Amino acid sequence: MNTRETLKINARGHLEIGGADACELARRFGTPLYVFDEKHIRDMMAVYRDAIEEEYGGRGLVLYASKAFSCEAIYAIAKSERIGVDVVSGGELFTALEAGFPAEKIYMHGNNKLPYEIAEALDARVGRIVIDALSEADLIEEEAEKRGVVQGVLLRINPGVEAHTHAYVQTATPDSKFGFSVESGAAEAAASYVLSKRHLKLYGFHCHIGSQIFEKQSFVIVAEKCLKFIAAMREKFGFETEELDLGGGFGIWYSEEDPKISASDYRGYLDALFRAVKKACGGYGLKEPFILLEPGRSIVGEAGVTLYTVGAIKEIPGVRKYLAVDGGMFDNPRFCLYGSKYTAVLANRAAEKAEEIVAVAGKCCESGDLIGTAFNLPRAKTGDLLAVLSTGAYNYSMASNYNRNLIPPAVLVRGGEASYIVRPQSYRDLVRNDVIPDYLK
């Protein structure tokens, strides 16, 4: 939404993130550094929360998909914005609980929840567990029975729609590790199985059709398919669906290939989705279910910027020019994994005209360690500050210590003031869990 509000060029010609001068941030906190604009995050949470409140008057909840960026501060922000969260592992659940996030607003996901993760979710009394396999239903039943409780659950269904950025495909025989296929009858069989469990209360269904989606129609089609399935479940089992979770997936701006989406554009997606739900409910004579959405990327993606210092510069005549930075695939593996495109600016010379196309390389020992191959920048010098934009989602959360590089710290900027939300790692942290067996000493 507001990369334009988050980012500015100030009178000194420096990039400003959430009102903080990027050069000051780099001087104070060092590089590489993840920087997050708190206002952007809160604004985006509010877009979803307010749309649901206005349309559904409390009969819905937005869950921040915390896989996009998980640390204690983000759960604290989500809590203060009165939204829920989805977690996908014991680690995310633990982080949310450590941050004091209310368990009843936590939805637990995962396609292969481990027995101890299910036990932890029950101990914490999470709001819902989203079942993605029959064996999970057995495990949850067992753990709930042990504790003498009834656990609220949703069932993840695969409605046979897969969406990617600008396109969606409807597949008759879906090949996915997620969910139970509606088409094949697996979803119906799973619903019947879950309904037979005494310690599970089935509230309804969940689906998620993909990520970085701009095609409004994808969301409309999936809503229609889910409601059709819900009507069939009433027909078959007399089951009244109370909750429908339509997942996340709303796209953001990374590069000139993507549209810039404003808050009102996001609202447009939601309105189209809500209209589709209402219309289908009307058509099937269904009571409108409590609606859940799970945006991740669109809440934190454009709120984040990564700052790097330019180091070695190598020009290979007739081939390309490489700027090497002090980060790389260990803080942002998305180009390596998906060929993802980003936009970069020289933060200390942000008002200067771009003059050349360069590749930005990381410092890891492999040739594929790139942040991208086509950044349009002024002629950079060693020591310049490079800002890569829209790195708030799936960067820190997918970072690693590859080559024993340190995962960069993260700061949150509020009204121009920055504070750590993830402190720097140290070399000591790297060896903390290492053990040399006695016979090697």
- Which parts of this chain interact with ligand LLP (CB under 6 A)? 65, 68, 86, 109, 208, 211, 247-250, 294-298, 334, 394
Distinct helix (H) and strand (E) counts, the chain? 13, 23
Question: How far apart are CB 296 and ligand LLP at their closest, in Å?
Answer: 3
- The residue among 90 and 248 lying less far from ligand LLP, judged by its C-beta, is 248
Question: How far apart are CB 229 and ligand LLP at their closest, in Å?
Answer: 17
Question: How far apart are CB 238 and ligand LLP at their closest, in Å?
Answer: 28
User: In angstroms, rounded to a whole number, what is the distance separating the alpha carbons of residues 291 and 40?
Assistant: 24
Question: How far apart are CB 329 and ligand LLP at their closest, in Å?
Answer: 13
Terminal Cα distance for the chain, rounded: 56
365 as an active site residue: the answer is yes
- Listing DSSP states for 375-429 in one string gives EEES---TTPEEEEES-SSSSGGG---GGGPPPPPEEEEETTEEEEEEPPP-HHH
Q: How far is CA 114 from CA 122, 146, 376, in A?
A: 13, 17, 45
- The residue among 10 and 255 lying less far from ligand LLP, judged by its C-beta, is 255
- The residue among 14 and 109 lying less far from ligand LLP, judged by its C-beta, is 109
Nearest Cα residue to 279 out of 345, 219, 227: 227
- Of the residues 71, 207, 336, 365, only one is catalytic, namely 365
- The residue among 164 and 279 lying less far from ligand LLP, judged by its C-beta, is 164
- The residue among 60 and 295 lying less far from ligand LLP, judged by its C-beta, is 295
User: In angstroms, rounded to a whole number, what is the distance separating the alpha carbons of residues 93 and 87?
Assistant: 6
Residue 306: half-sphere exposure toward Cβ, Cα within 13 Å? 32
Q: How far is CA 174 from CA 209, 218, 248, in A?
A: 11, 16, 19
Nearest Cα residue to 386 out of 299, 286, 310, 305: 310
Question: How far apart are CB 382 and ligand LLP at their closest, in Å?
Answer: 30
Catalytic residues: 365
